[in-house]
Amino acid sequence: MLLVFVLAAAFRLKEVPRLQHAGQPPALLSVLRRKEVLAFFASTALMVAAHSSLYTFYSLYLERQGYSKTVTGLMWSVGVVAEVLLFYYQAPLFKRWGARKLMYACFAAGVLRFALIGAAPHALAVLVLAQVMHSATFALHHSASVQTMQRWFGGALQARGQALYISISYGVGATAGSLGLTQVWQVAGPQAIYYVASGLVALGAVAAGLSYRWQQR
């Protein structure tokens, strides 16, 4: 029934006139060869790979720790509410701090968040705090990534840049993360995947730092 309503809403959408951009856009491959762009996509893929510890394993993880399905559902709800609120109120943050500083804050929050999930699975308050941090590690990171990407994929390249961002980050990153963390779960146990996820975020922070450094040069 929900999909029926979605379909009805889709038929109400109006076609937006296609924008005409002046001049020829740079070749897509020439943009992708730039090391700061490659480092940026590596950073986003690593962040999403870390989040596969949640998307693939979090419900199973909470079940292993003895939490009920009701608590598990509420934990997911906390994360969703936090990200929606961040998306709604994010404009003043970007106006004051800018994408680069907020990106670093996202990675710092991610390192802490996943380490907390692995270290304190029986402390419900800690897990709630970690879910609230989804507002930074997912929502704020996504917005900062899109804003950063616009400096390379503006104008006529904007749509292809967005497609590459989704494909590399959520396609390659999430798939590799899920497969790799499955092996960690089987070999080292459930808590270990969150320590590995914290490490993946740290590597992503290094890649992001290199990207911004090379941009400045």
Q: What is the per-residue burial (b if ≥16 Cβ within 10 Å, else e) of 138-147?
A: bbbbbbbbee
Torsion of CA 27, 30, 31, 37, to 10 degrees: 160
Is residue 158, in this structure, part of any structural domain at all?
yes
pTM comes to 0.89
Is residue 20, in this structure, part of any structural domain at all?
no
Residue 122 belongs to domain spanning: 31-216
DSSP states along 8-36: HHHHTPPPPPPPPPSSPPPPHHHHHTSHH
Is residue 142, in this structure, part of any structural domain at all?
yes
* Pairwise CA distance, residues 28 & 24, whole Å: 11
Is residue 63, in this structure, part of any structural domain at all?
yes
What is residue 216's predicted lDDT score, i.e. its pLDDT? Answer: 81
Report the number of distinct structural domains present in the chain: 1
Helices (H), 120-173: 124-132, 134, 141-149, 158-165
Is residue 13, in this structure, part of any structural domain at all?
no
Number of H helices, E strands in the chain: 12, 0
What is residue 20's predicted lDDT score, i.e. its pLDDT? Answer: 67
CB burial of residue 47 (10 Å; 0-12, 13-18, 19+): buried
Distances, alpha carbon 87 to alpha carbons 6, 14, 94, 130, 144, in Å: 22, 24, 11, 18, 11
Q: What is the pLDDT of residues 81-111, one digit of tens each?
A: 999 999 999 999 999 999 999 999 999 999 9
Give pLDDT tens digits along the chain (217 positions): 999 999 999 999 988 777 665 666 667 777 888 999 999 999 999 999 999 999 999 999 999 999 999 999 999 999 999 999 999 999 999 999 999 999 999 999 999 999 999 999 999 999 999 999 999 999 999 999 999 998 888 777 888 888 999 999 999 999 999 999 999 999 999 999 999 999 999 999 999 999 999 988 7
Is residue 161, in this structure, part of any structural domain at all?
yes
State the Rg of the chain over Cα: 19
Q: What is the pLDDT of residues 164-189, one digit of tens each?
A: 999 999 999 999 999 999 999 999 99
Is residue 83, in this structure, part of any structural domain at all?
yes
What is residue 16's predicted lDDT score, i.e. its pLDDT? Answer: 79
Phi, psi of 121 (to 5 degrees): -65, -25
What is residue 108's predicted lDDT score, i.e. its pLDDT? Answer: 98
What is residue 195's predicted lDDT score, i.e. its pLDDT? Answer: 98
Percent of the chain with pLDDT over 90: 83
* Pairwise CA distance, residues 167 & 153, whole Å: 15
Is residue 25, in this structure, part of any structural domain at all?
no
What is residue 159's predicted lDDT score, i.e. its pLDDT? Answer: 82
Which CATH number goes with the domain that contains 76?
A: 1.20.1250.20
